[in-house]
Copies of this chain bind each other. A is one copy, B any other.
Amino acid sequence: MTSPVAQPASPRKQPRQARARATVDAILQASTRILQKHGLEKFNTNHIAEVAGVSVGTLYQYFPSKDAILIELIRQKRSQLRDALAEAAAQSVELTLEQALDNLLRVTIAHQLRWPMVGRTLDYAESFLPLADESLAFKRDLADIISTLLAKFAVPDAEMVARDLIFALNGLIEGILATQTADADQIFARAQILAHGYIRAAREN
Contacts and interface: CB of A to CB of B under 8 A. Distances in A.
- The size class of the interface chain A forms with chain B is 35 or more
A77 interface: no
Contacts of A123: 124
A-B complex: 3 closest residue pairs judged by Cβ atoms? A171-B171, A197-B201, A167-B175
8 contacts: A121-B127, A127-B178, A136-B179, A167-B176, A168-B172, A171-B172, A171-B175, A193-B205
Interface string A194-205: 101111111001
Interface string A152-174: 00000000100110111111101
Interface of A: 39-41, 117, 120-121, 123-124, 127-128, 135-136, 139, 160, 163-164, 166-172, 174-176, 178-179, 190, 193-194, 196-202, 205
Contacts of A199: 197
A193 B202 contact: yes
Contacts of A117: 127
B179 A39 contact: no
